[in-house]
Each structure stands twice: as C-alpha cells, then as structure tokens.
Structure 1
C-alpha cells in the first residue's frame, strides 16, 4: 500500500511538473530560417528548461507563473528532418519532436476563402479546379501545414489546437488551398522547406482578428469594442434557459400541439463577427512564432453597411500594425487578396477599394482576383491563380527575385479632346486585352455620371471615350460587382485592379 501511494504521488508530481511547449511546436514543424526563433511554453515555477536543436542548446528558468521562453539563434535552411528536444530539471522524460525542418514560414489568415480546402471532402463548398489531379500530384514532403482548430474567446488564450502535417496526397485534401498553392510554388522557386500556419475562420470580420488594446486605442473603432462588451455583459446577466423536455406530461396534453422550445440566447463571444474573438482564440496562442510574413484573405464579411466599409481601412491598418508590433519582427510582409468578382453587394467595388488602402503601408502587397470570380459563388474554385499571384509578390518583394508581381497599375490620366488617355505602370510586355476586347471602362463629364466607353490599347496606355460624353473629366475601370471577361492584363498575364480617377484621397 505504501508503495502504491508513493508511486501515485510520484506520478502526480511528474505530471504536474512536465514541461510543455506552446501550440505551434509539434513534430514535422518548419522553423523560420535566418532569424531568431522564439520557443516558449510552460513548466513548474522555477524549473530550469533546456531547448536543444541544430547544434544549439538554450536554457532558462520558468517564472513564478510557470512560463518560459528561449530564443534560438538564426538557423540556416535545412530539409533534413532533425530532432527538437526540450528537457526540464523537474521533468522525468524530455519532450522530443521528430522530423523538424528549417525554411520559410508564412501565416495564412482571414475568412472562408482562406479556409477553403484543396478537396471538397473537407468542406462541400470547397474543392479546387482539377481537384483530383492536384491531389494526386501533391507529393511535397518539404511542405508542411499547421491548421489551427477553430476557436473564439473573450480573452487571449494560451493554446490553440492543431498539428503540423507533411504534404502528401493523403494530407493535402484538408490543406488551405491558397496556403498550399503558395507553398508549392514558393518551394519550387526557393528550394527550401516551406511551412504554412493556417488560422482562419469562415464569415469572420476583420475586427474579430484584432486585439482589444488596438481597437480601444482608436476612437473610431472603440465603439465596436464597447458594443461587444455590452452584448457580453447582457448575455452573462441572463438567467439560464432550459431547453429540455419537462419531466412529466399531463395526460390531457398528450394530443395537444407541442409548444415551441425556448431558444437559448446566443453567446456573443461565439459570433465571429464580433471584435477580438478570433484574435483571442486563434492568433494570441501562436505569437511570436517566427515567420516571414502573412497572407490575408478577408473582406466579404463587413458589418455596418456603408459605414462599415468606410471604417474597413482603419480596421485593416490597425490589424497590420498591431500584429507587427506583437510579433516584434519589424514590418514583416503582409499580402492580401483583393476580393474576386461576384454578383453580390459583399463584393462591390467600394469594398475592393477599401481593401486596396493597405498598399499605403510598408511591405504590403495585393493579389488581384477580380477576373477569376464566379457570378453566383462566393468561393471561386480557381485558387491556383491566387496562389501564383501571391507567390509573385513574395518573390519580388520579400526575396528580391526579378519577377513581375503586379498587373497594370493606373498611374495618370490626361484629356485629349473628347477622350481620356490612361497611363499605367507595370506594363512590361505590353498591355493586353486577353479576351480580344476591353470592357468595363467608363467615362464621366462634369455631372459625374459614368457611361460605358470604348477602350483601345496604345502602348503603355489605354484611350477611352464615349460619344455620349463630349468633355470627359474622369474615368474608371471594372467598377461593378462582377466584371465578367474583357479584362486588362500585362504581358506577364496579371490583371489590372479596378480604379477610378476621381477617387477621394
């Protein structure tokens, strides 16, 4: 009996004192090359923790709350799977992770188009173009993906569920399609391992991914937080509603129409439209996992109508700046996907214009997807082109490769008689009407009323005019929800984004 008690106590102490790594650290992970790699977790207060990897060993003593962190020195890229070992002075057995690589790490976040998986077997609304062929060819052991389990919370969490998985035809069906195609194309170019951390949730609003302190610091965004807090307080003050059947049913009520069951009120914390909840549940647990940059696809879910769209640039800017401040890796690359065309108000040009304001920030980029949308589908199946366009931006700007990364960008306009000449940058290889004609150009006179215009390419410019506008003052392009065909491209095959020459500065 004494032996049993001793064994029980010993096991209890060992379990209590066991060193634990933070969520992003699992076997098969990819660590970011060429920069310090933070490693953190929990242990017994005062326990000495040692981390060994790649010929380095770093030690630290856990603080009074049991938290610890060490920073590995910058690592060189390596496709060799190695052991990652963590031991503790009060822990019986070291924690050992297998098959750890070093290369490039990118975080993918946003809403359902980032969740969108390679196969529709994961989500019936997903599944990429040429799904079967893409899955069969996905034998890339140097690509790994960590997919965080969906989680919303009122306060920042320490952990998020998930594990790193090696890319193969067996695992890729559940990978974020954009994350996978980005990683595949990047790995082919750089010839180093690529890791993708996918933390995304369908129908989530941008403010849901921003922490409380950042929203509170902006007087225009603070009302979002105040509204949410008021809803939470009201919900928590409600009496509990029982939805169970009554224990007894009177005999005379047997044939009576059943009264509707009372609906339990919804917890606002579990609403992905509300401020901070996605940050708290999914982003906070992975900070400061070392990475190269972020890929962001969000914008279909904006609450508040026109006022919400007007606020979107502030929310987006707050998110970018605050994530950068929290990671403490400087102005890391932050590349977004501009919404694809769709015949829905959620994908209207004012939203895409609001998204494009991110380009005013350092080290940002925007992959245009207006031309690959589907009229009645908010989840276009062509994610290959989205991945390609994001990779081009990364190769040119994050890695200094000599590749064209942007479609034609409106640069200036001049009035020539009854026509307007629009000039463009990123016109390498010439401007192209890939579908044989240009559509979606419009002009307006002093009255500001836009009408359809004829458009022709002339070198690195497009000349537009309409017989209905004798003295044009402004022009715009693709200013509709769903511009179908007739797009303007450059010689690299990249589309021009929508624009209007009379945009409010």
Structure 2
C-alpha cells in the first residue's frame, strides 16, 4: 500500500452504514393486479426529460392495452399506447415534450386508471456514488442559511433507499417519492446533487429533476451490472461463486473461502482456521465481554483497525451434532470469514449486522468443535459483540447452545485493502447495489449522470480507469447510448506529506479518472482539488463541487465555449536544462495562487521513489521546470494523497494531478 497514514486508517469500506448482506428487492406486482398501472418512477411532483421521446412503463393484466397521456387540464393530451406482455409489464413512448408544466400523466386500461399530477418537464439528473454524494445538505457549509432559503418549487428530488438484490429488480424495495425542494425537505437531500441542480436551474431556467442513489463506502463494482464486470476479465471466478451462492449451492461459499485461504498463504503464516483450540502460536484470551475490541482495555487493540483472528469452542453430544442447523455469531464489525472445524462456512460484510450461517450436515461432530473467524475492521469499532447468548449453535427445534467463553484472539496486521471480499457483500459486493438501486430506475429519461465515487477503490487505482469506462457503458445501455457523464475527481484528504515527494494511490486514482473521461468523448471531469479537508474525508464545501460540476456541464451539456475542467497538460519536452509542460483548456492565463511561481511540480526517473521537487516558472500557457541535478524521465504535478496545488487559471479552476513522460 502507498500513500500517507490516513489512507491506511481508511481501509476502503469505511464510509458506509451496514445493512444485512442478503436483502432482496421485492418481486414485481402480480401480473393480475389491476393497479398501480404506472411504475413507481411516475408519481405526483415528478419531472420528465424534455427534448427527447419519453418512455413510460408499468404493470397491467397480461394482454391489456394501456393508453398513456400527458397534458394540462382542459387542453389536448399527447398520448401513446402499449400492450402488456405475458408478465404484465408494458412500456409506451410519448413524443418529445417541451419544458413546462404542471402536467398530469395518466395511464388507462379498460378496467383501471392511474394518474400522476403536478408533473414538470425539464432536465433530469441521476446523482450516484458513495458517501460524498450521499452527504446531506444539513452537513454542508452554511447549512442553516442554505436550508432556510431552499424554496425551489421547480426543483424536484427523488431518493432511492439503500438496498441490494441478487438480480436486476423491476421495482424498488422501499417506496420512493418525488418531493419539491423546500426548507422542510432539503436537509436530508444529497448536498452535491441539490447544489448542482440549483446551479443548473440558474443556467437553463427549466425545471430540474434530481434522482439520488448513493451508498457510503460502496465500491464501483457494486454499481456495475454483471455483464459489465465479466467484460473486465478479473471477476469471472468471483461472479461464478456469487451465482452458486445465490442458488444456495455451498460450492459458492467454499470456492470463495478457498481463494481467501490461498491469499492468506501468500500473506500470512500458518493456517489459523485449521488450528484446534489450545494449538497454534500467538493466541490470547479475550476479555469476557462482547464489546468492540477497542473497549477491551487492551492497549494493542485500543485503536486497532485491521485483521484479527478469533475462535471459540463448543462441545456437543452426538444428537446435538446431528440436529445442528445454523451457527449464530451475533453482530460482527466489519467483515468476517468463518470456518467450523477448519472447513469454510460463510463470509459477510456488514458493520454490526448479526451473522447466521446454515450448517451443512456432518460439519459438526460429537465432542469438541472449533469455530474460527477472521475479522476485518476497517474503521471505528471492530470485532465480535452482542452477548454470550448471541454466539450459539442453533438446533432444529430452535434450541440455542452457547459457544464456550472466553474467546481467543490473535491480531494479525495486514494490508486491509488487499483482503479479499465476498462477492455477495453489500457495499463491497458485485453488482448488488446496481441491481437494487440503478436497475429499477429503468430507461427513465436523463439529461446526464453525475458520479462521485472512488475513495473505496483507492487500493487498485490503475484498474479504476477500466471499471469507470465499463460502468458508463453499462448505464448507457439502460438509459441511452448518448447519456453524458459528469465525474467528480477526488479532492485532497489527509495531512500533506512533508519534505519530499511520495507515491500515492489516491493521485493515481485521480489520474485514472482523468484518463477514463478523456477517452470517453461524452464525459467531463470536475476537478475538486482545493475543496478537500485535511482532517475529514467528507469535506463540507459541497457548493464548490457543485459549481465546478455546473461549469463542466456548461461545456459538455450546454455547448458553451468554456473549458470544462480547467488547465490540462498536453505534453512535456526537454531542451537543455529546462523541461517545458504545455497546457490547454485555459481560461485567460495561468496563475499561481499565493506564490510567484507554481508549487507541486516534480521530476522523476522511471522507477518509483525517484521523484524530487523542482522549481517552476510560468511562461504563458506553459510551465518551465528547472532540471538541475537529477533525472527527468517523468514529470508529476499535484501528486499526493493531500497535495498543495497552486496552479489555476482565471476561471478559478485548478490544474488537476497528472503524470507525463518527458520527451
């Protein structure tokens, strides 16, 4: 792992709130149900996308004809018809509509009718990502004032609740509703999404619809469809394990945990899961309390974020061993991998969620049995807690046989970001957030998607370029091939490195975000450097992020003659003792803030760890670097987890992090 110590504490999945890993989205309404006709996306106070055909869909009796119309009271309606299929699903397409409203949208069959009133037509934006997209208005800068003046009847907002599903869902697991922005409704809205919508309303003067779907700590893989992950090439085995798991095939769990054991063989020592009680080195007696290990009073565990082994025993009579149906573990924080008598049993991510793992026949034996857990804690509290009664063997008749206490434990520091995660997890699983929080939105008309995520993928920054490209391609199959994307590049976080340049996964991930956007052709990057917080991974200045997103939208969506992202490096060439970096995308001239020359430029050899800071001088649209004594194979700028970057243009947009070869 590279980067500063604050990244080490973050450990990837630190930004979320846990939900049970096996929640399923509900099935569609029965095919013979007379109502509701309209899908939940179409409700009172909603916003439809203007300027393009409008898909509308829902559920009716199989074979029924559905007529959909939209218009104002007393005026002629625009309408379309569709026939429900054998599954009861139907979809009609209305002609393109002009901005305006309010309208009433109505769906009718011979036996039923449903209407959505106070509908507007304008621009609809889909806001998604992890906790910095989820972060609410009431946590942003100047929240009291922002809330008090949030009277925007022409900005509407729909939030998708956190949920996962094993397959793409037709409907939402929890009810959704469109709401107008008022001082009463705005506090819990996504700050970035709301502030962006407010900026776009100022720019376009058309109604704005905002769909927010975000989950703190989530990895990008959770937001991608299964076929898009398979195209990546690195996920085939994990997806196969997941498919078996969903079918109830124990081979899915065993396959994943076998791979986990292989990883441990390359990382740790011994086979702790195969050591019976009383054997093996380094095991210690845990306090007789089921509280987070930070509260044990053990100095080594007082601030421990990492992997620790825990184990306990249970003695069973032959009949008890035969009739055991499940292992109950109580709450675990954050992730566990669990064995019984050295054999794989289960794995789940969910901070504080109780575990209950079915026991295959024959896994338990008469006499002594050992239950072993590898527990990964990425942030905050960690360990196994609840009560002694919560850790038990469950028999077929409901009897609970508590495990023997005290437990034993063995802390084993590892690179937490490298610990394999079960593909059926929530925020760290594969496709399960996509299935429950993206798929149900269907082909709803969108003006653009706004994506703010990446913190949880910092450990594999080079891979992020391909993942982001794959996610954009998958979402375009759902929402339309012309869907534009506005991507927030991660800001600085953590105390700046002192003295010399550092290697940084966060910088590499920012560069991967830039590369994916530049290769796309219908995406723009909002560089958020200068808006971060050294001490908080959730910076409060979400208004600044929204303004930069809106600036990017001016170029990408509105066709204005502006540089969407600020100064961009073109190339770096050497002549004598000077390396010259050329820039494009500059508004006005290049400027160095708070200094007579830019700060943050490095020259490097080819190998890691060979970079050094160099003096830089502004020269029109170029920056000249003094080579001095040392290699000049690469040039880097703003390259750290939390760099200090001073190069801007007159639009107050910063030049983002980059690395270029020197020619």
Q: For residue 465 of structure 1, what is the aligned residue in structure 2?
A: 626
| TM-score, normalization by structure 1 | 0.85
Tell me whether 1:368 sits opposite 2:385 in the alignment. Answer: no
Runs (4+) of structure 1 exceeding 4 A deviation are 230-233, 235-239, 263-268, 344-347, 445-448
How big is the shift at 1:65?
Answer: 1.1
Q: Give the 5 Å matches for 1:34-73.
A: 34-54=51-71, 55-73=77-95
Task: Output one character per residue of 1:92-133: Cα deviation in whole Å (capped at 9) or x when no partner.
Answer: xx21212100000111111111111111xxxxxxx1111111
How big is the shift at 1:19?
Answer: 3.6
Q: For residue 312 of structure 1, what is the aligned residue in structure 2?
A: 464
Distance 1:264 1:323 in 2: 44
Tell me whether 1:99 sits opposite 2:118 in the alignment. Answer: yes
Q: 1:455 aligns with which of 592, 616, 623?
A: 616
Q: 1:215 aligns with which of 229, 237, 252?
A: 229
Q: For residue 433 of structure 2, what is the aligned residue in structure 1?
A: 278
- Say whether the 8 Å CA contact 1:22–1:286 is kept in structure 2: no
Q: For residue 133 of structure 1, what is the aligned residue in structure 2?
A: 145
Distance 2:31 2:589 in 1: 68
Q: 1:357 aligns with which of 515, 520, 524?
A: 515
- Say whether the 8 Å CA contact 2:423–2:430 is kept in structure 1: no
Distance 1:18 1:264 in 2: 45
Q: 2:391 aligns with which of 250, 262, 276?
A: 262
Q: 2:179 aligns with which of 144, 153, 165?
A: 165
Bigger mean CA deviation after superposition, 282-291 or 342-351: 342-351
- Say whether the 8 Å CA contact 2:157–2:210 is kept in structure 1: yes
Distance 2:550 2:523 in 1: 13
> How well do the aligned residues superpose, as a CA RMSD in angstroms?
2.8
Distance 2:178 2:109 in 1: 24
SS of residue paired to 1:501? strand
How big is the shift at 1:428?
Answer: 2.4
Distance 1:465 1:323 in 2: 45
Q: For residue 297 of structure 1, what is the aligned residue in structure 2?
A: 452
How big is the shift at 1:48?
Answer: 2.2
How big is the shift at 1:263?
Answer: 7.6
Tell me whether 1:148 sits opposite 2:148 in the alignment. Answer: no
SS of residue paired to 1:463? strand
SS of residue paired to 1:402? coil
Q: For residue 194 of structure 2, what is the aligned residue in structure 1?
A: 180
Q: 2:493 aligns with which of 342, 361, 374?
A: 342
How big is the shift at 1:426?
Answer: 1.5
Distance 1:431 1:60 in 2: 57
- Say whether the 8 Å CA contact 2:598–2:646 is kept in structure 1: yes
How big is the shift at 1:240?
Answer: 3.3
Distance 2:155 2:423 in 1: 37
Describe the shift of the 1:259–1:500 C-alpha distance in structure 2 as closer, same or farther (beyond 3 A).
Answer: same
Describe the shift of the 1:264–1:47 C-alpha distance in structure 2 as closer, same or farther (beyond 3 A).
Answer: farther
SS of residue paired to 2:457? coil
SS of residue paired to 1:142? strand
Q: Higher relative contact order at CA 8 Å, sep ≥6: structure 1 or structure 2?
A: 2
Task: Output one character per residue of 1:50-73: Cα deviation in whole Å (capped at 9) or x when no partner.
Answer: 211032122222111111110010
- Say whether the 8 Å CA contact 2:31–2:88 is kept in structure 1: no
Task: Output one character per residue of 1:195-232: Cα deviation in whole Å (capped at 9) or x when no partner.
Answer: 11111111111111111122224433424423444555
Distance 1:283 1:217 in 2: 19
- Say whether the 8 Å CA contact 1:228–1:274 is kept in structure 2: no
Distance 2:93 2:392 in 1: 50
Q: For residue 369 of structure 2, what is the aligned residue in structure 1?
A: none
Distance 2:646 2:241 in 1: 42
Q: For residue 476 of structure 2, what is the aligned residue in structure 1?
A: 324
List alignment gaps of at least 5 residues for structure 1: 1-12, 120-126, 245-257
Q: For residue 640 of structure 2, what is the aligned residue in structure 1?
A: 480
Describe the shift of the 1:440–1:326 C-alpha distance in structure 2 as closer, same or farther (beyond 3 A).
Answer: same
Higher strand share: 2
How big is the shift at 1:445?
Answer: 4.8
In the alignment of these two chains, the number of paired residues is 463
Bigger mean CA deviation after superposition, 443-452 or 331-340: 443-452
Bigger mean CA deviation after superposition, 360-369 or 350-359: 350-359
SS of residue paired to 1:143? strand
Q: 1:494 aligns with which of 653, 656, 659?
A: 653
- Say whether the 8 Å CA contact 2:600–2:613 is kept in structure 1: yes
How big is the shift at 1:404?
Answer: 3.6
- Say whether the 8 Å CA contact 2:461–2:506 is kept in structure 1: no
How big is the shift at 1:150?
Answer: 1.0
Q: For residue 122 of structure 1, what is the aligned residue in structure 2?
A: none
